[in-house]
Chains A and B, each alone.
Chain A
């Protein structure tokens, strides 16, 4: 029923591999450089950014100049500083969202796969239904009810991606639960939770690590979409998606700098994360391509 959905990052990874050939090592390197760049940007934002991102420091809608490299927005705030600070929100929401998805999806998958029976049926049905629903629409629905905020947006994103973890883990568990080592553990009298945690979990974990890294770019794009729709972080906190939303009002004033720069920040982050995860994917799991 549920067809296999591809991650944004897998797609970008596919495209990138087409373009550069199979130089996976190089791709991972470029991807990790971009990723490290963004992490540094987020951590050291106060030192890197030339101005306070929420203070009026210049005239409204000033084009890029020596003082304001990326220009200023309608409230006279420095766009460069806002783009730099924006990486904080973007990264923390995508990391947190993916982490929450992992925390929801993995235990449910473990239990569902190991216990089986009607519980497994019900959980699988529910997760499949959520899985086929377009991620963004699902996230919009939840974000609409929860309201803005870092944690709330992360939860909305997590609900979208939890089914992915669930599916991967469940299928893996179902595949390994009759293996010899599980039988052996049962024979020596290991308890159920011990078997799940100590014997099965370590064996199915590698398959999710790849999913984890691939989720990041998706989560980032979803976050950008949500905040563009005004469902993200409450202003004046700098956020790429929301800045695009406010930049849009000045399209006709030809204030291109308010639109181009926050957008480029999203594009590079999405590209970098995807290339990175695709590289990781192949390094960790050379066979996964064939299995998929």
Chain B
């Protein structure tokens, strides 16, 4: 799987018209310079040789050197990855919380205002481009109300020691509660934006699956035993509705990552998404290719993890 993805990326970036050497040097470079650069980048070798060089590089963790900063791409990605990870984790938690609780309550009170509200929310949020939603939140909370910062991740210097790069974790580990609050203030808008847009899918899945389970005998039995609503709904119904939801979570992760690129750009969040956009602006091809490969690997790893967890949660998947 990973291999195929690498092959596709390699050939896609070479089939496409346009010469990367010319793109780097600009159209007016003298011929010798162009030839030399081509040699430097190994682009004068036969395509098969290029391909194996590329595979060797990727597997040894060498994603090339940025033509802009002259730093290894993998190093730059390492610096930026925690920001993206932090954003996606928090967005994910928000999406899951909204989806789980609102979805379960809607299923319990089917066709009541709360449920209809959930459906309107889903339609609207799913038709909204994530970056536009982010801009609207910026307008309201950063520009008009001035409650939260417009963008960025942290003011100039961190008051705590950076260990993992996940600032929330770092702040907690240093016991710096003021710093934590500051980090969360910056994190709030981007993660709420991405989380709410993603939540509409979870919301619908949870609601519809729970409605289905609620009509089953196991729920009747639970209610007949006189269990409280909370226990029946979350302990029995939602728990049983969770398997299909889990599969969806795996599929949504890829689109969450794509959404993260747009969200990061909206909020100038210094993650991999905004890194990619910046590199595109400067036509830094090794960096672009490296980032795309990184995204690909990341998605493959996550889907494997989710498949494994899925198999642990639901014995029926383990065939």
Contact = CB atoms under 8 A, between A and B. Distances in A.
Contacts of A228: 129, 131, 262, 265
A157 interface: no
A256 to B, nearest CB: 5
B196 interface: no
A134 B13 contact: no
Contact of A224 (B12, B129, B250): B129
A229 B277 contact: yes
Contacts of A188: none
B142 A252 contact: yes
A225 B299 contact: no
A194 interface: no
B129 A225 contact: yes
Given A137-B295, A144-B288, A19 B120 contact: yes
Contacts of B199: none
Contacts of A146: 16-18
B1 interface: yes
A220 B311 CA distance: 37
A133 B299 contact: yes
Interface in B114-167: 116, 119-120, 122-123, 126-129, 131-132, 135-136, 138-139, 142-144, 150
Interface stretch (B67-75, B77-85, B251-259): B251-259
A145 B126 CA distance: 29
Interface in B1-59: 1, 4-5, 7-9, 12-13, 16-18, 20, 23
B16 A132 contact: no
B5 A147 contact: no
Interface in B221-272: 247, 250-251, 254-255, 257-258, 261-262, 265-266
Nearest to B13: A145
B204 A225 contact: no
Interface string A227-256: 011110000000000001001100111101
A256 B276 contact: no
A15 B119 contact: yes
B159 to A, nearest CB: 25
Contact of A141 (B129, B208, B255, B292): B292
B318 interface: no
Contacts of B296: 133
A16 B120 CA distance: 8
Given A3-B247, A270-B129, 20 more contacts: A5-B251, A11-B126, A14-B204, A15-B200, A18-B119, A19-B116, A132-B303, A136-B258, A136-B262, A137-B257, A140-B261, A142-B16, A145-B285, A159-B12, A244-B135, A248-B266, A259-B135, A259-B139, A260-B136, A267-B127
